[in-house]
Structures are given as C-alpha cells and as structure tokens.
Amino acid sequence: MEQGIAEAELAVAATILARDLINEPASVATPEHLVEHARRIAKENKGVRLAVFDRAEAERRGMNAFLAVAAGASAEPYFIHLSYRPANAKRKIALVGKGVTFDSGGLQIKPGESMATMKCDMSGAAAVLGLFSVVSRLAPRAEVHGIIAATENMPGRHAYKPGDVARAMDGTSIEIGHTDAEGRVTLADSLAYAAKLKPDMIVDLATLTGSCMSALGEEIAGMMTNNPRLGERLRAASGESGEKIWELPLPTEYAASVKSDIADLKNVSSTRYGGAITAGLFLQHFVKDIPWAHLDIAGPAYAERETIPYVPKGGAGFGARTLLQLLKKI
C-alpha cells in the first residue's frame, strides 16, 4: 500500500510540473525558462546533472538544424541535457522532448486560430522535465538522459526560409520544404545527439503532426518504433499510466516521400497523405539502428475541453506518467 501511494505521488508531481510548464504563457515559458527549471531540477535531485549549450556551443557542435529553426527568434535557444547515472545502472535510456516554446509557423505563418495554443508545442520537453523532477526518488536501475532542444519558431528577419538546406550534427543535409514543419528539424539534432550517447533505447515525445490527430483524435498518441520489444514496453507502460497510445507503422515504401532532390532529406513529405508516418520515417533516419520509439502527442498534449475527468482543460502533461512507468520496469 505504502509503495503504491509513493509511486502515485511521483506520478502526480511529474504530471503537475509538466502541466504547469505547458500552461504558462509563451512570454514566460521561453527557452531560458526551461533552462531555469532544468537547473532547479538538477539542484534539488541527488544524482541529476545538467549540461546546457548556448547558441555558440550548439554551433560548435554542428547543431545547425536546430539553429536554423532558432534563427528567426529573438529569444535565445538552448540545448539542454539532463542526466541521471546511478552506480547500479543496468541499461541506458535517452528521453528526447520537443522543446519549441512557441510555434508561429515561421515565415509560412500559421493562421490565428491555429496559433492560439502553440505555447503547448513544448509539451514533450515538459514531460521529460516532469520525469526528471522525480527521477532520483524513483531511483530506476538505468542511466537516464533527458534531451531538449529549446527554441521558438518565429518569422524574424533572420528566419529560415523554404528551400534552405540545414545540416544536422550527424552530417545529414535537410531541405526545408515548409517552415512550419520545424519540430522534426530540431529533433534531428536532438536524436543525433542522443544516438552519440550509445543508449540501449531512445524514446522521443513531440507534438509533431496534425495528421496524427486526424487519425487518432485528441486523446490518443501515435507510437512508431523500429523495435517491437520497445513497443511492447511502451504499451505496457501506457496501460499502467492511463495515457493512451496506438501504434502506427513505419513502412519502408513511404520513406521515399521524405527524400530530397537537393539534400539527403526533406522536412515535409512529397505526398499529402500519411503525414504522421512520414514524419516518423524522417526521425528514424537519425537514430540509426538503436531501438527507438517516437510518440506523436499532438492530440493529447493539450485539452481544449475537459473530456477525461483527471485531465483538466489546458496542458495535460501527457507522457510524464508513461515515462515513469517505463523506467520502473527497466
């Protein structure tokens, strides 16, 4: 009984922090604000360490895909790496959260009604920060890394443009087909960085595509994975957490749609269909053969109305509890 109560308290704490971060206005929840929370987490949680890369350091490391998205924003971008390395670690897991603190769409700007809730485009990052706020109390037998590329996507005078080519830190060149498909461009560097850590598995969470919402609605996240065993683990964690996920395929036949004539990849598909899947195939390129799962949380990340009793209107903190359950079983 006591153990169950203690685990519930961790789930509540992680979820509330994630919700609070999402619900803050974008004028407050800037990339620097996420860094401040990461610093607080590292200070208050034994065994948690933090590395933060500013624009100059990110450039030195070749994170030019991430920096391309950041180019139009006045708010400074930051690349955040939290880590927890217990002595008894049996596995290494990297958790990657999309950290676009406001998404205007960039030069290909969103219509007003589509922009209204775009402060929630850092919901993946919020889930990772929520998990790390309790990781030392959870004490998993795993080395855990939390990775967030934090930036705004804005149409400033230096903004990246359709037709630009950005190069990720692993050398992959990316043609920019649309500036509002920025999340996968920032994730390219996040996933490439995660892969360099040589983890046993990578899980990313991102409010990535409206296509996933069209397929699964507002309460279910789409899961794509290159590893059936990891998919089973996440389905089990989802069942324990109450956060619903549904697996979508990654058919190799669709991969050609994100190829470019002038670069290695293009950040939008050449077809209008299957957008959640083609985004997943784009991301898969950066993890190589490492077991990986992508959670497209565009639907359940933000509740525009209350449909689930325990999810109030606003930021849902989706993913924090599933990550907690995943780490419990490792």
264-273 per-residue burial string, b: 16 or more CB within 10 A, e: under 16: bbbbbbeeee
Interval 228-251 mean pLDDT: 98
Sheet holding 201-206: strands in order across?
48-53, 78-84, 142-153, 91-103, 201-206, 292-296, 220-225, 244-247
The stretches of the chain forming alpha helices (DSSP H) are 2-23, 31-44, 55-60, 64-70, 112-115, 123-132, 135-138, 183-196, 210-216, 228-241, 275-284, 320-328
* Contact criterion met (CB below 8 Å) for 307 and 218: yes
Q: What is the pLDDT of residues 179-237, one digit of tens each?
A: 999 999 999 999 999 999 999 999 999 999 999 999 999 999 999 999 999 999 999 99
pLDDT-based confidence at residue 56 (cuts at 50, 70, 90): very high
Domain boundaries, the chain: 2-328
* Contact criterion met (CB below 8 Å) for 61 and 170: no
Supply the pLDDT for residue 1.
63
Interval 243-247 mean pLDDT: 99
Q: Say whether 184 is catalytic.
A: yes
Q: Say whether 119 is catalytic.
A: no
For the stretch 3-10, contacts whose Cβ atoms lie closer than 8 Å and that sit 24 or more positions apart, written own/partner, are 7/324, 7/328, 10/134, 10/137, 10/138, 10/324
pTM exceeds 0.95, yes or no? yes
Domain 2-328 maps to which CATH number in 3.40.630.10, 3.40.50.1000, 3.40.50.2300, 3.40.50.10800?
3.40.630.10
Q: What is the mean pLDDT of the chain?
A: 97
Supply the pLDDT for residue 157.
97
Least confident range of 4-8, 198-202, 221-225, 249-253:
4-8
Q: What is the pLDDT of residues 122-157, one digit of tens each?
A: 999 999 999 999 999 999 999 999 999 999 999 999
* 91-103/244-247 β-pairing: unpaired
| Amino acid letter for position 34 | L
Which of these is catalytic: 39, 61, 91, 110?
110
Which of these is catalytic: 19, 92, 119, 184?
184
Q: What is the pLDDT of residues 278-306, one digit of tens each?
A: 999 999 999 999 999 999 999 999 998 88
